[in-house]
Amino acid sequence: MYKVSFAQRNLVPAEIRAELQLRLYEVATTLANMPADHSVWESMEDGELQIGVRGWQFFYRVDPTGLRITVLRGGPSST
């Protein structure tokens, strides 16, 4: 199973952080069950992925070899 980690500890409200972790664990579960030759793996190598959580935007990378999802940065959306 993939592990979710944070590259830096910024001031994200606890409820936003908890929901982000829940969503990323859902992503992790999906990835863990995805065949190694699925086209989604190639798209993940191209760069950062993003996910929105209640007015916040977070950017993350997936390391399929290390089974890790790392949240690189995030903050309130500018919209």
Tokens representing 39 are: 């086209």
pLDDT at position 47: 84
In angstroms, what CA-CA distances link 71 with 36, 38, 43, 54?
22, 23, 17, 16
Domains and CATH numbers, the chain: 3-76 (3.30.2310.20)
> DSSP 3-state assignment of 47?
coil
pTM as predicted? 0.86
**pLDDT tens-digit series, residues 7-36:** 877 788 999 999 999 999 999 999 999 998
Do 60 and 3 contact (CB within 8 A), yes or no?
A: no
